């Protein structure tokens, strides 16, 4: 029996999707829910799982092709999976019988099942996790196996090759780790392997160049790198925002010492209870929520000559990934307590890095926060995410000498920058809002 796979509906306003890459080819066997292709909409890129187990009978749309929602893009033959597995099992039995072992070793204790995502945020599909457990591969060993999938994801083929080569070659390549930086960061560091800025030792995000995607000028002095789909969308949105809003920026300094000490004292227990690390992001989100309730015009948008003041607060939190910047949205943020905000931010950031976000999770934001401090930047002037009218930029938290009570003290300080639309927010209001955010951070009740 053939199962038709159609271009999925990725959101109410999404009418079509572009096929970026087929992860399988015709004739390949696939498991149900195994990722089969990557598609892109004008909202987000996503990996799409197979609707059934079987063999890829036909791929009906090419990479780069834009296909309307509901149109058939692939056919999966489901009747071949069982016979194929039976044949493989029979072959395995014949080999085992020919070996005629004289001694049966004691069965080993089964390996622990790998988590869906490990501590570094690497995603493992159900198929890979079950294969690893069956082969006795521990989560720690699994984390060291290089992956050829999207964003370094470990595929079934990667694991099969690893097992067939005796769990040794090719040599396991340690996954890149971001080296410790000189400043405390919010925990939205990119998943890509970092490079190093000259003389600073601070990790920065580069463009991952693939030889097949680039070309050079005849003299060989210039390398031409085509923008990928998401980079084109980022460029389009940023240029449109600058052409739409009258950007103005205000900067202030915030004493984060109390929050830094609280986080240091509680982060180990927090991680044990919640299963993820406590970052500074939810503290900033909480402070922004309180300030927005006092200055609702900053939570507005402009439609023609009308100002639309939203009675709900959806906070966008920018996340740097190895494929570009994306801003998932904490919807209904004003209804969440601090723990709820921390959980929502962690979940969205984790899924943003594995391209597991839904289109509706990157839309309808009413205010955004971006952290340029992840690479040690003291402060920057962010571009407003349309149709919002303001965005808060956060720099690196650093220990600095400041004057307190007529004396010099060492405090944990951070610069915050508010970019706002001067069409409806004047400097006095923008500055007052920013100072309110600072006040909330410095006086926040920490339990």
Coil vs helix vs strand at 39: strand
Q: Which of these, 84, 139, 86, 76, lies nearest to 111 by C-alpha position?
A: 139
Least confident window among 52-56, 104-108, 146-150, 434-438: 104-108
What's the confidence (pLDDT) of residue 355? Answer: 80
What's the confidence (pLDDT) of residue 121? Answer: 64
Pairing of strands 203-204, 2-6: unpaired
Question: Of the spans 42-51, 81-90, 226-235, 257-266, which averages the highest pLDDT?
Answer: 257-266
Q: Are 357 and 326 in contact (CB under 8 A)?
A: yes
Q: Are 23 and 36 in contact (CB under 8 A)?
A: yes
What's the confidence (pLDDT) of residue 42? Answer: 64
Least confident window among 28-32, 145-149, 173-177, 369-373: 173-177
Euclidean distance between CA atoms 341 and 332, whole angstroms? 10
**341-364 confidence digits (pLDDT tens):** 999 999 999 998 888 888 788 889
Euclidean distance between CA atoms 141 and 271, whole angstroms? 23
| pTM score | 0.63
Structural domains in the chain, CATH included, are 2-77 (2.40.50.100), 230-443 (3.30.559.10)
Question: Quick one: three-class SS letters along 302-370?
Answer: EECCEEEECCCCCEEECEEECCEEECCEECCHHHCCHHHHHHHHHHHHHHHHCCCCCHHHHCCCCEEEE
**144-173 confidence digits (pLDDT tens):** 888 766 556 677 777 877 887 765 544 333
Euclidean distance between CA atoms 120 and 139, whole angstroms? 12
Give, to the nearest 10 degrees, the angle between helix 156-164 and helix 126-134: 20
Kindly indicate the confidence band of residue 70, based on its pLDDT and cuts at 50, 70 and 90. confident
pLDDT at 234 over 80: yes
Coil vs helix vs strand at 29: strand
What's the confidence (pLDDT) of residue 13? Answer: 55
- Neighbouring residues of 35: CB distance < 8 A, sequence distance ≥ 6: 23, 47, 48, 49, 50, 125, 149, 150
Helix (H) or strand (E) holding 432, with range, is helix 427-443
Question: Of the spans 8-12, 38-42, 58-62, 331-335, which averages the highest pLDDT?
Answer: 331-335
Question: Of the spans 140-149, 174-183, 210-219, which averages the highest pLDDT?
Answer: 140-149
Q: Are 315 and 186 in contact (CB under 8 A)?
A: no
Euclidean distance between CA atoms 172 and 54, whole angstroms? 31
pLDDT at 230 over 70: yes
- Maximum distance among all Cα pairs of the chain, rounded to whole angstroms: 87
Euclidean distance between CA atoms 124 and 172, whole angstroms? 17
Q: Are 50 and 31 in contact (CB under 8 A)?
A: yes
* Residues taking part in catalysis: 422, 426
Pairing of strands 72-77, 324-326: unpaired
pLDDT at 399 over 90: yes
- Rg of the chain over all Cα atoms, to the nearest angstrom: 25
Kindly indicate the confidence band of residue 183, based on its pLDDT and cuts at 50, 70 and 90. very low
Least confident window among 39-43, 227-231, 294-298: 39-43
Residue with tokens 């149109």: 71
Q: Which of these, 116, 1, 6, lies nearest to 51 by C-alpha position?
A: 6
User: What's the count of helices (H) and strands (E) in the chain, helices before strands?
Assistant: 9, 23
Euclidean distance between CA atoms 176 and 196, whole angstroms? 13
Q: Are 151 and 125 in contact (CB under 8 A)?
A: no
Kindly indicate the confidence band of residue 178, based on its pLDDT and cuts at 50, 70 and 90. very low
Euclidean distance between CA atoms 367 and 354, whole angstroms? 24
């Amino acid at each position: 029996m053939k199962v038709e796979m159609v271009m999925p509906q990725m959101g109410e306003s999404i009418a079509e999707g572009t096929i970026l890459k087929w992860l399988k080819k015709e004739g390949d066997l696939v498991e149900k829910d195994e990722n089969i292709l990557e598609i892109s909409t004008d909202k987000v890129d996503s990996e799409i799982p197979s609707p059934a187990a079987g063999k890829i009978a036909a791929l009906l749309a090419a990479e780069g092709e834009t296909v309307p929602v509901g149109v058939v893009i692939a056919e999966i033959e489901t009747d071949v999976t069982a016979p194929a597995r039976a044949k493989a099992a029979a072959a395995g039995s014949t080999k085992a019988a020919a070996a005629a072992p004289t001694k049966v070793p004691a069965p080993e204790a089964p390996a622990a099942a790998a988590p869906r995502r490990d501590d570094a945020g690497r995603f493992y599909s159900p198929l890979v996790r079950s294969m690893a457990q069956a082969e006795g591969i521990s989560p720690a060993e699994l984390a060291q196996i290089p992956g050829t999938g999207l964003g370094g994801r470990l595929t079934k083929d990667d694991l099969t090759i690893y097992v067939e080569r005796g769990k040794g070659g090719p040599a396991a390549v340690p996954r890149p780790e971001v080296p410790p930086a000189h400043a405390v960061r919010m925990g939205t560091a990119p998943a890509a392997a970092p490079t190093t800025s000259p003389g600073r030792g601070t990790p920065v995000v580069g463009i991952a160049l693939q030889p097949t995607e680039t070309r050079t000028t005849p003299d060989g002095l210039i390398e031409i790198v085509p923008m990928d789909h998401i980079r084109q969308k980022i460029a389009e949105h940023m240029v449109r925002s600058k052409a739409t809003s009258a950007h103005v920026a205000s900067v202030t300094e915030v004493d984060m010492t109390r929050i830094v000490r609280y986080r240091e004292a509680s982060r180990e227990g927090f991680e044990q209870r919640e299963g993820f690390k406590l970052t500074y992001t939810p503290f900033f989100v909480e402070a922004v929520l309180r300030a927005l309730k006092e200055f609702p015009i900053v939570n507005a948008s402009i439609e023609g000559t009308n100002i639309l003041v939203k009675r709900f607060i959806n906070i966008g939190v920018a996340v740097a990934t190895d494929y570009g910047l994306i801003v998932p949205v904490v919807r209904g943020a004003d209804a969440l307590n601090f723990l709820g905000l921390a959980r929502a931010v962690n979940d969205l950031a984790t899924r943003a890095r594995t391209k597991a976000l839904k289109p509706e999770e990157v839309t309808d934001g009413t205010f955004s926060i971006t952290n340029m401090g992840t690479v040690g930047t003291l402060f920057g002037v962010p571009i407003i995410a349309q149709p919002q009218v303001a965005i808060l930029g956060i720099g690196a938290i650093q220990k600095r000498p400041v004057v307190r009570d007529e004396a010099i003290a060492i405090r944990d300080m951070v610069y915050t920058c508010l970019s706002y639309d001067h069409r409806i927010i004047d400097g006095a209001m923008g500055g007052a809002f920013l100072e309110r955010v600072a006040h909330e951070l410095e006086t926040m009740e920490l339990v």
